[in-house]
Amino acid sequence: MDVLTSNSSSLLSSDFGSLSSLYNATSENAYTLLGIALAAVLLSWATKKPQGPFPPGPKGIPFFGNAFQLPHSFTWFKFTEWGQQYGPIVGLNMAGQPMVILNTGKVCADLMDRRSVIYSDRPRFIMASEILTGGMLVGFANYGPVWRRLRKAAHLGLHLRAAESYYPIEEREAAILVKDLLRDPASWDSHIRRSIASTMFNVVYNGEPLATKEDPTVAKINALMHRVVQAALPGRFLVEIIPWMRYLPDWMASWKRKGKESFVEDSKMFKGFLQSVKNEVATGDYKPSFGSHLVYPGNPHGLSKDEEAWLAGIIFGAGSDSTAGTLGWFMLLMALHPEAQAKAQEEIDRVRFCDGILSALSVSHIGSRKMIGTTATSSPRHGTIVVSNIYGINRDPEFFPDPDAFRPERYYNEDEDLTKKAEFDDTHGQGHYSYGFGRRVCVGMNLANNALFINIVSILWAVNVKCPVGPDGKKIIPDRNKFIDDGLVVRPEQFNCVIEPREHDVNVKLGEGY
């Protein structure tokens, strides 16, 4: 087994590094640690009570508050339930740590956008950010000089105009995807994952298309992202509750030692990828890529070599599974809604309706990324963690009537014949809130939108996606409410669909260059 993959599980279950290990231990040392943990929680509870009025919320238990009321997965369902019960702002006590849940776009925009100076920090993630990624994970970085450098450099290579330079890569991979779907329709999910991973790798580092989704490079990146996301889950590591454990010597804390070893291995991998780009840039024989933006002489981002390598690697890792997951939802919804598919195909020459489909993917179901479910920041004034419940916000009936209905036309003014987008307040022109708010809005949203749009249009132009028919002649309808949460991405549960070429000769029009 690859060392990076094997570390994923061992990191989460060693030397009482996780709460579950502590609960299952029977040694005297474990009970000692448990006593220390409880004392720390009590002290935290006694000293971190929010000052002044606090938003209403569910009643908790003494000392631990609401800490045990949150499920380990799909927490946004519980947040949405509480929002319906207590209002748009819900207050929680997580064992002494104040937490506020925001459940409408208006309150999120009022705080995250209009008061972004206050609400741009991140909670401290000791294991996920400080140990596993050396403080260089832009999504978890505290609001300060390092985050500003990383964000500035990311914007340099991913802003709207820069993202347009990656069209050739996205178009090439979309054409390969279509041919793969026609060649082997039963493996459509694998084709999508390979295509998006290859797209992101080439956008960041340039190179040749990846052969399969099991490419060792993709496996290593996915293992890293899984480790980081799992490490950031509440209660996963005791060090998040007892911060002084961060300073234990390595021989006393294998979770810390293995985390540092993973960081060294991942840094070596990322530097190797980026070195290839540097070599190409040095010769002058290179194509535009995110990596070339980072390493081109004279670019004023001011990153260290480690920061350059990690920023490029995280852009690749964060974009691959999330975009593939969204396309999985697209395939499901096309099979379930043939009328919307036919309408998009009829108007493919104008490609306007496809914009509506792209927006509807973010509202009509969960979306794909874990961070689409919830996003967390913190207020430095009160030390309160503030969570934007994106799932609930995208289902606010005031702005999205009948939100579970897949209606792409809702994103256009009906009297304008689908030529003018409807306005949705505070969505930064997106029509949904899935990319976040304020200074923490997703820096890669232009790249993601382009890749999704090009792939959606290509698939709709080339094929029809249908529900299969059973032996009894009835359609086998996949359940849109069954999905998989692997810690990083929420995607539809595997389902069968029929993929058929449309009447025009797709293979000829795709050309032999692919």
Under a CB-based contact definition with an 8 Å cutoff, are residues 226 and 487 in contact? yes
The whole-number pLDDT of residue 514 equals 44
**pLDDT above 70 for 362:** no
Instruction: Determine if residue 442 is labeled as part of a ligand binding site.
Output: yes
479 CB burial (10 A radius; 0-12, 13-18, 19+): exposed
**Separation of alpha carbons 329 and 327, rounded Å:** 5
Per the model's pLDDT, the better-predicted residue between 350 and 337 turns out to be 337
471 or 373, greater pLDDT: 471
Q: What is the pLDDT of residues 497-513, one digit of tens each?
A: 999 999 765 554 554 44
145 with 137: CB under 8 angstroms? no
Strand, helix or coil for residue 300: coil
The answer to whether the beta carbons of residues 225 and 321 sit under 8 Å apart is yes
Strand residue runs (E) in 277-321? none
Residue 172 CB coordination number (10 Å): 18
Distance CA(68)–CA(502), nearest Å, equals 52
Q: What is the pLDDT, as a whole number, of residue 503?
A: 74
Tell me: pLDDT of 250 over 60.
yes
The structural domains of the chain, ordered by start, are 3-510 (1.10.630.10)
Q: Considering the chain, what is the average pLDDT of its residues?
A: 81
Give the 3-state DSSP-derived string for 339-403, with helices as H, strands as E and coil as C.
HHHHHHHHCCCCCCHHHHHHHHHHHCCCCCEHHHHCEEEEECCCCEEEEECHHHHCCCCCCCCCC
Report the pLDDT value the prediction gives residue 398, as an integer from 0 to 100.
83
Global confidence as pTM: 0.83
Q: CA-to-CA distance for 387 and 90, rounded, in angstroms?
A: 10
Q: Is 487 left (phi over 0), alpha (psi -120 to 50) or beta?
A: left
Is the Cβ–Cβ distance between 178 and 506 less than 8 Å? yes
For 311-328, what is the mean pLDDT?
90
Spatial CB neighbours of 406, under 8 Å, sequence gap ≥ 6: 333, 336, 337, 340, 360, 364
Give the distance between the most distant pair of CA atoms in the chain: 73
Write down how long the chain is: 514
The pair of structure tokens assigned to 468 is 């299969």
List alpha helices for 165-304, DSSP H.
167-183, 188-205, 216-232, 254-283, 290-295
| pLDDT (0 to 100) of residue 281 | 92
403, 80 Cβ separation under 8 angstroms: no
What is the average pLDDT across 330-356?
A: 84
- Separation CA 135–CA 129 (nearest Å): 5
Q: DSSP assignment, residue 119?
A: S
* Residue tagged 């599980």 (tokens): 9
Greater confidence (80 vs 370) lies with 80
pLDDT in tens, 67-102: 888 887 788 899 999 999 999 999 998 877 888 999
Tokens, residue 271: 């530097």
pLDDT at 2: 38
> What is the spatial distance between Cα 96 and Cα 49, in angstroms, rounded to a whole number?
6
Q: Give me the mean pLDDT over the 52-80 stretch.
A: 86
